[in-house]
Chain A
């Protein structure tokens, strides 16, 4: 399956993401620049992490208003899978493709560490290689990962099984509501998550717990 990685000024995990997608699918993703208004035919669009536009105004706020976002929105409406990681998640939220907001970590400090994630919903395009309730290791690296939604939206997310990942007990690095680490849209094709599965996919990373997300989204048969 084909994938695309969106490149915006200030994103800095685009190379990590390209590397992970290439290693897992055996095929390099196409790259899409901020000014492009059309995205080639792909099965998965990834918005990687970083500090698009320097996080000025608000994380993801400027990116959400760039021309390329309309193209992503069009693809998402047609059912193409979209994954936003870290700043990518913040951008999807700012663009209205996912509910909620990502606020500053409660510690008010940048946090870079490995946490444990609970796979809350293993029945999505992105998590089929995992078991429900499985705990996986995953690095985080962010300053604004404190997820928040209002009560009604939270209830709807929980009812709709849209919470895909939670920080396992005692490992929430940012104070997010309900330990939420990743959410999916109601249609089930747009996933946003703060942790970085692309940094835990091979022996050099000390583990490959993150691999399953890409293998699942790209329908790679597990080796």
Chain B
């Protein structure tokens, strides 16, 4: 062979590619010789944590991924779920954490671009986006800069591409000071007979490169994203990609137009590890070899080496296997949209991944071992120690409940996120039925008279830290609950698991515990995981983030005219709590923000109660019996009431007289499986009787009316004061 090997493969070079000595030995054993520089780059791209899931694969396999509505589970660009009438929803969530910390605007923008591409690669037109963002402490010197850049980047890409952002999360905690989280979700609509997959079929067929040209941006991005940060972080800026939403919008239209012609056999977007990963995945999945000729790759810079081309993460690019007889038709579509179209290779029958550059073979590797037979680890792990119980009697009551409520509602984490979501186009496409600010975003299904989809993204990292299993369950349960609170039936979810360094047994223990909890909850709630992403090594100088397994779910509303909203209540309506009284103050918002303590266990998630209470609430909504609905989560009953009151700009008069326990636990306890519904007064008794016969715990809380939130002599606050406290923190912080 005439493979040039001008760069010597030293142990330092191997290490700088993120490959461990035993992994390098595995490469030597596999190919029986020293790899070329380009090959080393290819191995590094394929075998890093980000692309290979080598630490998490063993545990991800335990998650439930099947269900009567699941058409495509994990392993493709996105999951596919049946929503009746031949329609399917295609969705996934993915992290862009490391790049967003290094370069917030472009990091976040290309995170959005990547997830949108995953969705339309499958043949779906994106209809909704969400973003779960986590930043360091508000007073950390980098936080404002990162918030400003990430939010602008998310908006800059999504707004220009033309997808409504309908939900998400924004949280602050000092544990994200050195590693922020940007988890981007996208969902699209397709027809069940119009789904496209990445598995290549047929030997000798053209491999076609589409979209934008290849540049030097993002070289080695996936490898960077699989390492911890230290002081050298500024040097990593060139590994961040640069996004062009205009090209992506054109690529979307061109791809959907091309898919209609029947020319596409297989399609894969170029995301992490670009040309390498997309080509290997298409070949490995289809049991075929791939041969690429880099001289045909459209480039935007001169004299790019094979190594750079193979590792570039330039955005807005796709790889397809096309039917040769449709080539001209396909090309015309791409020319119309001003995009590159080049045949860069072919499928082969030898299971090799061969790369030619200027007539020289620069790589020749076994494709299966690069792709689906990459290394897998069973890393040692240590279960988190259970925290002792923290009864409410050991937690101080607030001196002044009004002040405590105003403090919580205006705190960095509980205040309104309007400053953020007013930078996202929430109206575009004309189908947004519920925009950010409620329990879930809701988008109607274009072309159907009554159908709509609900979306929510949730996780409570402090619970996961306190108890990974319960925290994992709670993330799923809260997502399921938020979707239920609109009246939708939760169908399936995607998980985005953000953790620290898995080589540390305690971090690995968090990951293992959280996956166990997620799996338990998904099974109990019939809420399978159909796609997802793992982001590890979220550590800086040895300090890990809070364990953050974000769960984003999708639900179906058969008739949106019967949907519930957080703010729909009317004067005179009766407020009813579904679920038990508040008792649990461990790891609560009250404890953290008012008493400055993070102690205590996470609340226990009783999945049978979660399901029973949720099904009952959904039934009420679908029978058109509630005027408003909200789940009880962070901050307990008091925060939930305040959020409903602010959203409706109506007062409430609430009594705790029927409830047993300490007042602060009733008001701020974060017990699970609970909702508040507002119902017309003439239905209240009927609904109470219904709950009783269904065995669902309920409490009549009080009535809607006036302009103050009044709770039994403990709280009496004007709604306008709540709104002012809630709306002022974010703009003041960013001013």
Contacts and interface: CB of A to CB of B under 8 A. Distances in A.
A94 interface: no
Contact of B245 (A19, A54, A141, A201): A54
Contact of A199 (B250, B424, B430, B433): B430
A112 B160 contact: no
A16 B250 contact: no
A9 B247 CA distance: 9
Contacts of A15: 429
Nearest to A51: B160
A109 interface: yes
Interface string A50-67: 110111100000000000
B425 A56 contact: no
Interface in B376-434: 421-431, 433
B616 interface: no
Interface stretch (B151-159, B501-509, B591-599): B151-159
Query: Could you tell me the dominant secondary structure of chain A's interface residues?
Result: mixed
B433 A112 contact: no
B124 to A, nearest CB: 15
A204 B159 CA distance: 21
B47 interface: no
Contact of B422 (A9, A16, A111): A111
A199 B431 CA distance: 9
Contacts of A83: none
Contact of B430 (A19, A56, A111): A19
A12 B427 CA distance: 12
Given A10-B250, A204-B444, A110 B159 contact: yes
Given A51-B246, A54-B160, A112 B337 contact: no
Interface residues of B, number: 30
Interface in A139-156: 139, 141, 143
B191 to A, nearest CB: 17
A53 B246 contact: yes
Interface in A109-139: 109-113, 139
B429 A112 contact: no
Contact of B159 (A20, A141, A199): A141
A9 B250 contact: yes
A110 B155 contact: yes
B155 A16 contact: no
A17 to B, nearest CB: 9
Interface residues of A, number: 28
B162 interface: yes
Nearest to B433: A204
A198 interface: yes
A166 interface: no
Contact of A9 (B244, B338, B421, B433): B338
Contact of B246 (A54, A112, A205): A54
A81 interface: no
Interface string A17-60: 00110000000000000000000000000000011011110000
A112 B245 contact: no
B560 interface: yes
A56 B246 CA distance: 9
Interface in B359-376: none
Nearest to B244: A54
B160 A204 contact: no
A12 B444 CA distance: 18
Contact of A112 (B244, B338, B426): B426
B161 interface: yes
A139 B427 contact: yes
Contacts of A139: 427
Q: B250, B424, B425, B560 — which one has the most chain A CB atoms within 10 A of its CB?
A: B425
Nearest to B431: A204
Contacts of B427: 112, 139, 141, 196, 199
Contact of B156 (A110, A198, A205): A110
Contacts of B428: 12-13, 16, 141, 199
Contact of A12 (B155, B161, B247): B161
Contacts of B430: 16, 19-20, 198-199, 201, 204-205
B422 A10 contact: no
Nearest to B148: A109
A170 to B, nearest CB: 15
Contacts of B253: 9
Contacts of B338: 9
B249 interface: yes
A110 B425 contact: yes
Contacts of A9: 246, 249-250, 253, 337-338
A112 B249 contact: no
Contacts of B433: 204
B250 A112 contact: no
Interface in B5-56: none
Contacts of A55: 160, 246
A75 B245 CA distance: 32
Contacts of B162: 12-13, 50
A143 B157 CA distance: 12
Interface in B316-357: 337-338
Contacts of A20: 430
A204 B443 CA distance: 10
Nearest to B418: A113
A112 B425 contact: yes
A204 B422 CA distance: 20
B422 A113 contact: yes
Nearest to A49: B428
A53 B152 CA distance: 19
B423 A112 contact: yes
A105 B444 CA distance: 31
Nearest to B250: A9
A108 B537 CA distance: 35
B423 A110 contact: yes
Nearest to A54: B246
Contacts of A198: 430
Contacts of B159: 51, 110, 112, 141, 143
Contacts of A109: 152, 423
A16 B423 contact: no
A32 to B, nearest CB: 14
A50 B424 CA distance: 13
A13 B425 CA distance: 11
Interface of B: 152, 155-156, 159-162, 244-247, 249-250, 253, 337-338, 421-431, 433, 444, 560
Given A12-B161, A139-B427, 19 more contacts: A9-B246, A9-B249, A10-B160, A10-B249, A12-B162, A16-B430, A20-B430, A50-B160, A50-B162, A51-B160, A54-B244, A111-B422, A111-B423, A112-B421, A112-B423, A141-B159, A141-B426, A141-B427, A199-B428
8 contacts: A10-B246, A12-B160, A13-B162, A16-B429, A54-B245, A110-B425, A112-B427, A141-B159
List the 7 shortest-distance A-B pairs measured between CB atoms, nearest first: A12-B162, A54-B246, A51-B160, A199-B427, A141-B425, A139-B427, A16-B430
